Chains A and B, each alone.
Chain A
């Protein structure tokens, strides 16, 4: 059974930092790209960042570029999101999601999501 479990959220002051983790199980983690998606209170879904499974390439939404860093530890089946220079508008529930795998079969993207971890940026 595929499971994704986020942790690391909490209350942080503007300008502060936080590191989120996502522990994965039930699939070959190293083979899959993984994404972070966030949802501000009462708002829609916003994609944040992706890290590929094959070569570890990373991409970011413009809203977080230069402040957030996505990484992964394939030996521990864990995805990370380092968030620096946090702002009030970064307040959201952050979800990790299983993304794509390179190959001819093209299985579904975003087929599994974690329950999310809440990040609140406030003084």
Chain B
């Protein structure tokens, strides 16, 4: 049963802490993405990766970091430099393609700063 998994579902962070959100896919997709969703706003791209060991900053990368050591995994670290991290975080992946890339999303992680 192929899909995208994210963990944990809920995450609480104290001021000054770094936290890591997990994203795993078994769809054999090359591209993976991280988005942030805030109430009343569209999804905003944080980072994306087209292939293993390569990733690019999106529109709001400041305060975040990623790695792509395996095709299946694309973890996101929210660092203490991110001043307003409370949000719903969504991971997505896309199958190979040369034109339009349909993205498939995981269930999300809700991060709350205490």
Task: Tell whether A pairs with B.
Answer: no
